[in-house]
Amino acid sequence: MNLIIDVGNSQIKVAVFKQDELVDMETMQIDALLNHVKKIFKKFDNIGHVMVSKVGDLPNSVLESLKVYAPVMMLSRSLKLPFKNDYGSPDTLGVDRIALIASASANYPKKNCLVIDAGTCITYDFIDQQGHYKGGAIAPGLKMRFKAMHTFTAGLPLVDSFELRDFIGTNTQECMISGVVNGTVHEIDAVITQYQKKFKDLTVILTGGDSHFLSKRLKSSIFAHPNFLLKGVNCILELNKH
């Protein structure tokens, strides 16, 4: 069995896999990680490998503590990957995007796939049916857009709840919500349309923290996978076991 730890910009996900099957998953903050890992190893005493995917901060002391339980491997671009990387600057490609493309390669082989990760940022990553990763795009996520309007203006409030009642806002907060939510939804639909015009039989995967909120509003046909990145990290771990 494998233990997968995904350290994002705002939270940490800890998952247990039996081969390619997800059997346990929890989301938490950094201060709860080690206590939870201790409980995980009591519950699953046959975990033999750990892989950490890190885009957010994780102290070295925590990494060293993890090594007490099992060998720890850090996800990096130098590992064996299940796709051909055609990215123009491979050394700058984030491990989160590497994991997402690995997951697309494993779950949708020989298909043109666009993976949209709606988290702190919204990333778009494309892998073609020959298994070549071509790149994509990066845009601000929903919360980042609200925070930017609050930070860079004198009078706009910080919006932390963004349920859209109507596309016509009747007060300042509703106008901000309409602008951000509608703008983001139309942006994602437009990007999907661009790819569909260029690539036949496109498979679109939506994942990330805001995927459930956005999936209900998108016109395009998508597959929503909340744990898509975790599956990609596990896929890479399986490829690199010694």
| pLDDT at residue 161, as a whole number | 79
pTM: 0.91
* CA dist., res. 122 & res. 120, Å (int): 7
Express each pLDDT in 40-53 by its tens digit. Answer: 999 998 999 999 99
| pLDDT at residue 164, as a whole number | 81
- Which domain, by its residues, includes 137? 84-233
Q: How far is CA 212 from the centre of its chain?
A: 13
Same domain, 112 and 182: yes
> Does position 242 have pLDDT exceeding 80, yes or no?
no
* Axis crossing angle, helix 228-240 with helix 95-107, rounded to the nearest 10: 90
Whether 240 is in a domain gets the answer no
Active site residue 125: no
| pLDDT at residue 221, as a whole number | 80
Same domain, 62 and 105: no
| 110 backbone φψ class: left, alpha, beta (φ>0; ψ -120 to 50) | left
* CA dist., res. 239 & res. 242, Å (int): 9
Q: What is the CATH number of the domain that holds 14?
A: 3.30.420.40
Same domain, 182 and 227: yes
* CA dist., res. 104 & res. 107, Å (int): 5
Same domain, 160 and 210: yes
- Average the pLDDT over 152-181 and give the result: 91
- Average the pLDDT over 72-83 and give the result: 94
Same domain, 110 and 191: yes
| pLDDT at residue 193, as a whole number | 96
Number of structural domains (the chain) is 2
- Average the pLDDT over 45-74 and give the result: 90
Which of 74, 98, 121 represents a domain boundary (last residue)? Answer: 74
Express each pLDDT in 117-163 by its tens digit. Answer: 999 999 999 999 999 999 999 999 999 999 999 999 999 999 987 78
Whether 238 is in a domain gets the answer no
Out of 6, 96, 125, 210, the active site residue is 96
- Average the pLDDT over 217-231 and give the result: 90
Q: What percent of the chain has pLDDT over 90?
A: 78
Whether 91 is in a domain gets the answer yes
Same domain, 128 and 190: yes
| pLDDT at residue 166, as a whole number | 85
